Structure 1
Amino acid sequence: MLENMRTVGVVMAFILAACVTAETAVSQPSTAKVDGHISDRGWDLVWADEFDGDALDRTKWSPEVSCWGGGNEERQCYIDRLENVSVAGGYLWLTARDGEWTGPGVHMEHPAYPGASKTKPYTSGKVRTRDLAAWKYGRIEGRMELPNGQGAWPAFWMMPQSSVHGGWPLSGEIDIMEAVNLGATCYDCADSDVENRSSGAIHFGKRPPNNTHVSERRALTSVAGQDGMPREQFHTFAVEWGEGRIDWFVDGDRFWTAKAEDWFTDAVRKSENPNAPFDEDFYLMLNFAVGGKWPEGDNERGIDPSVIPSALIVDYVRVYQCDADLETGRACMFDD
């Protein structure tokens, strides 16, 4: 029964994407949808997308359209078409595909957008809540199956809605989940000879090239009730973000914490506002990048052509806020 459900979901996705061919098929989800939950620590659900419809909810998400490369020399154009961004079978599918595309050469907030055109060898999907929904503090959680292969770079992250402290990275960046090259040869993984880690990070500091970040990686472990290698399973990624502190979680396990003393912004004196830049409203993003400086310079290097086509498959995204402590969010976080 579960296998039939997965097959139906995949067929629906392919029909919507107009790409039902053996050459362009992407792998199906490794498990059926399940209800997510968190411990009752006072978090109140304030926003969610369960992706139960047959189209992207554009009151919640807007697709990005650009070929600028994310500032990382990524190899894809993000475009707004069903082959790359679709909802079917209870999932959001952000699918990377082979084939040249020409589009805007700068990002969508650039004053010169769309700018001079750029051509990239791949297409993919990216969706954002910018100008639709943003939050200061809370628990932000998503359940997803990550694409595998050298050159694959899925991400679940947050950026400031208004950039009140200045342009990137003065106003900060919160990376809830990134993963590169899953399944490729790994030379520094502690418990595996293949890449099996996701990571969390924050970016902050001074203007490029003097910007900085802190990050932590965490090996993906097997989830009960799912088949396949851990890197091929659905996992739940989350941050709990309160005044002066951010905690990162994978499958309910808190694996890293960053505190106000770990970050700064060149826009504000630390003594005047120790929590800046992570003290403003941030919006959400989900994307699947192909290549770029990080994945192409790590593991087996470059891009394995067999990565394409594949998809970042998202079961749900949920945002909670601390009902008893909207001001700081700290009352609902774990004790330090």
Structure 2
Amino acid sequence: MEQNDYGRPPVVPSAATSSAPTPLRPGTPNTDASRNLYDNTDSGSNVPGTGTNPFVSPDASRPASSFESSSGSPYEEPAEAPGGQRYFHSRLVKKGEIEKPWLNKADPKEKWVTILPLLGILLGLCISGFLVWDGMRSVVKHKYCPVLDEDFSSGLDPSIWTKEVQVGGFGNGEFEQTTGGDENVFIGDNGHLMIKATLQDANLVEKNNVINLLKDGTCTSKDYYSCVAATNTTAGNSTIVPPTLSGRINTKKGATIKYGRVEVTAKLPVGDWLWPAIWMLPVKDTYGPWPSSGEIDIMESRGNNHTYAQGGNNIASSALHWGPDPANDAWWKTNNKRKSLHTTYSAGFNTFGLEWSQKYLFTYVNSRLLQVTYTNFNKPMWKRGGFPDSTSNGTRLVDIWSQTGRDNTPFDQEFYLILNLAVGGTNGWFEDGRSGKPWLDHSPNAKKDFWEARDTWYPTWTQPQLEVSRVLITQQCDGNEEL
């Protein structure tokens, strides 16, 4: 069988297809209205692409169409190559230089496309610079004079530091007896101050005994119950002496300030239910007993690890305590905490600081930029507290601070520094029913329950000391401390 140029047998048109010309496909150029441009006229057949055009469809039965009118095609027939085949002609625009007349003359408005954004950036920088300058101009730059710079290289100076010796729990129901001996407060081999917690003598806890600090004259409190404790083993009685020993020291005797800075560089302890604190109390109860005269907590933490529900030794808390009575202590309005990043405050030394003036008070960790809590004294503390008109028993509450005319009262008097390591307590610092706490705050057996659970918590005391490398106290001395 005869084949065409592409290996296909020729298609013979039927009578129906040969009797009349096939209409042209729309858009197909041709030389006249009766002949398809791609037909093989030499063969006398209308079979498309028989050796002439490889780009047409091989489907012989598909009808063609055309945009042609009766007047004929506007296109010319392509020239034929030798052998009767037509050349392929592309309608693409020939490659050449594209004219861009708008580039011959610059538009004068075009420069503003660049100038306006630059002016906006410059204006923004000027405004930002002014705001920074104005903010810095409004900040009072205080002058500070040294009060205490202690690195303990010469030991614990008794003219500055006082070891507090008590058994009463310091108003928090704490489970330690603070001692004056070298076992709990001492200078370590590395020259650092150590405040260490240890276990009480088991015989004093489990047998009938009395600890009477008044008898030997060592008690540093005037309160009887802060100086005397006893164990009573009578059936049904759960009274025991403090089950642990620890330390607490202060600078009331030799280093106090009214406005200034305090920085304590310390490494916190590791051990369940340990409670380290760096804080301040007023030298005199000028406005009444606690918390009427104020309290400044620079740092408080817990020796429990980071999994402890309230936050362990990875958290440092700061607070101010102030109010007309203990039931109306507004500490929760001036309280905050800071979490250590990817470590704990027990893993190394950190500086816990305070900056205090008549206008503001803030605490920080390592840098004044890393603030824990900030209080702006821009309105009277009594108004800030929103205290009720009377107590629960009907006693009228009176604004005890308005007499001074200062917004920062009671934080407008001399304060001294306290460093201590407490153990346990019944004031809520360790919440009931969380993280395996082995006692209940309101239980009369709290201390005994804690002691009897010592096999669970004492093994965690792998670093049971508050270690202090430096204490720096400076006094604001501008010549006008009311700034």
Report what 1:313 is aligned to. 467
Q: CA deviation at 1:184?
A: 4.5
Q: Distance in 2 between matches of 1:149 and 1:116?
A: 27
Paired residues for 1:1-336 under 5 Å: 42-53=143-154, 55-88=155-188, 89-100=190-201, 102-104=211-213, 108-110=220-222, 112=224, 115-118=227-230, 119-187=241-309, 196-213=314-331, 214-221=334-341, 229-252=344-367, 253-260=370-377, 261=379, 263-264=381-382, 266-269=399-402, 272-293=405-426, 294-297=428-431, 300=435, 301-302=437-438, 304-308=457-461, 310-325=464-479, 327-328=481-482
| DSSP 3-state at the match of 1:205 | coil
Call closer, same or farther: CA 1:268–1:229 in 2, change over 3 Å.
closer
Q: Distance in 2 between matches of 1:142 and 1:52?
A: 15
Q: CA deviation at 1:163?
A: 1.1
Q: Distance in 1 between matches of 2:325 and 2:364?
A: 29
Q: Distance in 1 between matches of 2:480 and 2:257?
A: 11
Report what 1:9 is aligned to. none
| DSSP 3-state at the match of 1:209 | helix
Call closer, same or farther: CA 1:158–1:229 in 2, change over 3 Å.
closer
Q: In 2, are the aligned partners of 1:150 and 1:295 still within 8 Å (CA)?
A: no
Call closer, same or farther: CA 1:283–1:207 in 2, change over 3 Å.
same
| DSSP 3-state at the match of 1:69 | coil
Q: CA deviation at 1:183?
A: 1.1
Call closer, same or farther: CA 1:266–1:108 in 2, change over 3 Å.
farther
Q: In 2, are the aligned partners of 1:183 and 1:195 still within 8 Å (CA)?
A: yes
Q: Which is bigger in relative contact order (C-alpha 8 A, separation at least 6)?
A: 1
| DSSP 3-state at the match of 1:306 | helix
Normalised by the length of structure 1, the TM-score is: 0.75
The 10-residue stretch of structure 1 (91-100 or 251-260) with the greater mean CA deviation from structure 2: 251-260
Q: In 2, are the aligned partners of 1:131 and 1:161 still within 8 Å (CA)?
A: no
Normalised by the length of structure 2, the TM-score is: 0.53
Give the structure with higher Rg (CA).
2
Q: Distance in 2 between matches of 1:244 and 1:324?
A: 14
Residue by residue, what CA displacement relative to the aligned partner does 1:33-55 show, whole Å, maximum 9, x if unpaired?
A: xxxxxxx97433321211112x3
Q: Distance in 2 between matches of 1:273 and 1:316?
A: 33
Call closer, same or farther: CA 1:218–1:110 in 2, change over 3 Å.
same
Call closer, same or farther: CA 1:188–1:175 in 2, change over 3 Å.
closer
Q: Distance in 2 between matches of 1:188 and 1:93?
A: 26
Q: Distance in 2 between matches of 1:67 and 1:188?
A: 27
Amino acid at match of 2:151: E
Q: CA deviation at 1:196?
A: 1.3
Q: CA deviation at 1:57?
A: 1.0
Q: Distance in 1 between matches of 2:165 and 2:376?
A: 34
Residue by residue, what CA displacement relative to the aligned partner does 1:257-285 show, whole Å, maximum 9, x if unpaired?
A: 01234834942227833221000000110
Call closer, same or farther: CA 1:271–1:324 in 2, change over 3 Å.
closer
| DSSP 3-state at the match of 2:419 | strand
Q: Distance in 2 between matches of 1:186 and 1:229?
A: 13
Report what 2:392 is aligned to. none
Call closer, same or farther: CA 1:122–1:320 in 2, change over 3 Å.
same
Amino acid at match of 1:244: K
| DSSP 3-state at the match of 2:200 | strand
Q: In 2, are the aligned partners of 1:77 and 1:103 still within 8 Å (CA)?
A: no
Q: CA deviation at 1:313?
A: 0.2
Alpha-carbon RMSD across the aligned residues, in angstroms, is 2.8
Residue by residue, what CA displacement relative to the aligned partner does 1:195-249 show, whole Å, maximum 9, x if unpaired?
A: 5111111101111222231310101236xxxxx7554211100010000311111
Q: How many residues align?
A: 280
Amino acid at match of 1:312: L
Amino acid at match of 1:117: A
Q: CA deviation at 1:327?
A: 1.0
Q: Distance in 2 between matches of 1:126 and 1:195?
A: 19
Amino acid at match of 2:354: V
Residue by residue, what CA displacement relative to the aligned partner does 1:135-180 show, whole Å, maximum 9, x if unpaired?
A: 1000000000000232010000000001111111110000011002
Q: In 1, are the aligned partners of 2:268 and 2:303 still within 8 Å (CA)?
A: no
Q: Distance in 2 between matches of 1:69 and 1:151?
A: 14
Call closer, same or farther: CA 1:123–1:220 in 2, change over 3 Å.
same
Q: In 1, are the aligned partners of 2:168 and 2:225 still within 8 Å (CA)?
A: no
Amino acid at match of 1:236: T
| DSSP 3-state at the match of 1:144 | strand
Gapped runs of 5+ residues in structure 2? 1-140, 205-210, 231-240, 383-397, 439-449, 451-456
- The structure with more strand, counted as a fraction of residues: 1
Q: CA deviation at 1:292?
A: 1.1
